[in-house]
Structure 1
Amino acid sequence: MRFVAIKTVEQQALLSLHRARDLLVRQRTQLVNGLRGLVAEFGICIPRGLARVIGFAEDITLGEVLDLPDIANEVIRNLSEQLMALHNRIRWYEERLK
């Protein structure tokens, strides 16, 4: 039988930062894939890579309007805003971990 040392409160707190960040990264990945798939249905190709999708989302949140129906533009804007908020939260966690 193996025995494991009990974690201190500080170690457990640091672990909570890692777990929360990991959860948000997985959510961001899901959102990126969903957004890329949604705009692809309208013939808009966002190249692979997080930076390119973030750049697309920034343009949308700053007011760029695609030549799509109003409902599609609203959905894409909402998802882009959610992606930017999630991305900023992840950056906060990364700064805390440093």
Structure 2
Amino acid sequence: MFTSHLFNLDPSHPSFKKTKATQSIVAEKQRRREEEQRRLEGAQEVTQAESDGKSREAESDARATTTQMDPSLSLLVRSIKSKTQQFQARKKQKLV
């Protein structure tokens, strides 16, 4: 509710009623937004400090670990690719 744009309260809407509940929702949403902003700024500072201190070898090792896919995900990708190829083959046969 606090992260989705679908649940935003619009005080300019004619049927909006200013109650304690709506004010608490607005306050909580604002608090969470500020907290998220601080967390992102902190993460950026940490990332900058780490990238300054890392050597190129350590960065390549980090990239290698992030490029490895989960086995179930790679199996799913393979399955989708094969089904797509089968579909394309059937489509070509119909045209011929």
TM interval, short-chain normalised = 0.3 to 0.5
Give the structure, 1 or 2, with the largest relative contact order (CA under 8 Å, sep 6 or more).
1
**Max radius of gyration: which structure?**
2
Structure-2-length-normalised TM-score: 0.40
Q: Normalising to structure 1: TM-score of the pair?
A: 0.39
